[in-house]
Amino acid sequence: MTDTLAPSVILSGITHRYGQLTAVDGVSLSVAPREVVCIVGPSGCGKSTLLRLISGLESVQKGEIAVEGQQLATAGRSLPPERRPVGMMFQDFALFPHLTVAGNIAFGQTDRPRAERMRRVNELLETMALTRYADAYPHTLSGGQQQRVALARAMARDPKVLLLDEPFSALDEQLRRSVREEVVRIIRASGIATIVVTHDPEEAMEMGNRVVVMEAGRVVQADTPVNLYQRPANSFVARLFGEVNRFEATVRDGHIVTPLGRVMAPGLPGGTKVEVACRVEDLELVPLGARPDAVPVRVRHSSFLGPATRVCLDLGGSEVHARLPGHVNVRAGEELSAAMAAERVMVFPAG
């Protein structure tokens, strides 16, 4: 593991305002060498602003950014983008249409002797399996190939950190998955510390050693994908990574009564207002009366999704959902019993 190594990238106390709007609010974050960190969050939460600050496209107003011990920027002091050891790849690839693939990759290395530049270009063409397209122009390439050219260009100057902003959003669903796997393989093999911005939680979990969840300019939780899913810091994080059923309730005598049964609440004082959340895949359905702890529900409708069946249920007039693996035959109007998987129920302070 890389945890013992000094971080490659350190952001300390970054706050950034556009006029009255605070786009980034006191963000501190470090990325270890060889680590891929994904920043995920809804539109407008400040993800791209963070990348723009690291790359130097935006000046730091408050806080500090350092890469491998070198200060890149602090309020009033800033290294220009071209002098930062940072490679950036944008969502639209931003390739130069009038330059060949080799020309695009060579761009920005003008400070290097020609022989060295060509050596690096050839090396990257090989890594990206693009050698036979060296003299082709971007518009003649597939989306996946263009993506690899953009990545090669971002890596050409041997940056110490790679920044990818929504790198796959221009690709269709089918292509996205395979290109994503390929890009992650290349990045991991390169060992460059990488920050990926995405609004897609699944993409973040698949790519990141660590995932940073942002909301309204702040970091809500920075953790491994497993911890984010199993131990979300709050209801917002829980909902980001999957559909949940939620109930507001109050703690009484060490437990919480919800419409789906009792939940233990050890250590929470009586009277505490809480939100109880249960992932749709953690709602178990059994025949009516089969379990004493389950409550009666009636099927409203169900949808077969391929790997799972999503069932919409009436619970005393309100609606809850279950997601069962595979194809499950349930009829509208059918009566069943539902219970939450006790060990996976989540309890948060009421918002």
Binding residues for ligand ATP (CB under 6 A): 18, 21, 23, 41, 43-49, 199
Task: Identify the DSSP state of 268.
Answer: P
Neighbours of 139 (CB within 10 A): 8
Give the closest residue to 188 by CA, choosing from 206, 166, 213, 165: 206
Name which of 43 and 329 has its Cβ closer to ligand ATP. 43
Q: Cβ closer to ligand ATP: 20 or 329?
A: 20
Say which residue the tokens 């990574």 belong to: 241
Q: Residues near 126 by Cβ (< 8 Å), separated by ≥ 6?
A: none
Q: 3-state class of 162 per DSSP?
A: strand
What minimum distance in Å lies between the beta carbon of 94 and ligand ATP? 15
Planar angle of CA 61, 240, 258, nearest 5 degrees: 125
3-state helix, strand, coil in the chain (%, to 5): 25, 35, 35
Give SS3 for 240.
Answer: helix
| CB half-sphere exposure, 226, CA atoms < 13 A | 1
- Do residues 264 and 344 touch, judged by C-beta distance below 8 A? no
345 touches 255 (CB < 8 A): no
Minimum Å distance from CB 227 to ligand ATP?
22
Residue (237 or 322) nearer to ligand ATP, CB: 237
Contacts with 89 (C-beta within 8 Å, 6 or more apart), sequence order: 150, 151, 153, 154, 162, 163, 164, 165, 167
Q: Rounded to an integer, what distance in angstroms lies between the CA atom of residue 198 and that of residue 66? A: 23
Query: Nearest approach, Cβ of 21 to ligand ATP (angstroms)?
Result: 6
46 within 8 A of 54, measured Cβ to Cβ:
no
Are 272 and 250 contacting, i.e. CB atoms less than 8 angstroms apart?
yes
Beta carbon of residue 174, minimum distance to ligand ATP (angstroms, whole number): 23
In the complex, what is the shortest distance from the CB of residue 176 to ligand ATP, in angstroms, rounded to a whole number? 17
- Sheet harboring 21-31: ordered strands across? 21-31, 9-18, 62-67, 70-74, 77-78
Strands 261-264, 255-258: parallel, antiparallel or unpaired by DSSP? Answer: antiparallel
Burial class (CB in 10 A: 0-12, 13-18, 19+), 34: middle
